[in-house]
A = this chain, B = another copy of it.
Amino acid sequence: MTFSKSFGYALRGILYVSLLKDEPRKISIDEIAEKLSVPRHFLGKIMKAVVKAGILSSTRGLQGGFFINEKTLGTPLLTIILLTEGNNYFNTCLLSMRKCNSSNPCPLHNKVEEHKDGLLQIYGQTLVSDLLQDDKADFIKSLATVEAA
């Protein structure tokens, strides 16, 4: 059920850049890290992988930064999950056995299969664009880590 922090950072970074798609400027890692209250250098490392995967684009140098490309908004969540959690995220057995396998299922397998598939469906169908909200200010607020509940 849980994803790594890397996934959270990646998705939030992508969403933040996507949200500002109409601004002429590119978005720097410093801005993203600050607005999301996320460790700057670690985020940089993750965003590099995001760009390498083609989910976002970036340029170096003055006026450089991150910006969306033709793939960004249509990227399914699943792509981002597999990027940060590894390609085997959905075929690892819940009980730490080698491969999740319905022909030789572990004791938990059949109990959760339905919901596991359901989540996989959702992750495959939900696009970055589906997660953006109209109210930008409110959305940015919901992207920032908040200590207090």
Contacts and interface: CB of A to CB of B under 8 A. Distances in A.
Contacts of A112: 119, 122
A89 B8 contact: no
A107 B92 contact: no
Nearest to A103: B149
Contacts of A3: 94-96
Given A98-B149, A105-B142, A149-B98, A119 B115 contact: yes
Taking residues whose C-beta sits less than 8 angstroms from the other chain, chain A's interface range is 35 or more
Q: How many copies does the complex hold?
A: 2
A5 interface: yes
Given A8-B97, A96-B145, 4 more contacts: A7-B95, A8-B94, A111-B122, A112-B119
Interface of A: 1-3, 5, 7-9, 11-12, 15, 77, 85, 89-90, 92-99, 101, 104-108, 111-112, 115-116, 118-119, 122, 126, 130-133, 139, 142-143, 145-149
The 10 A-B residue pairs with the shortest CB-CB distance in the complex, in nearest-first order: A8-B96, A8-B95, A107-B131, A99-B149, A5-B96, A115-B119, A115-B118, A115-B115, A97-B145, A98-B146
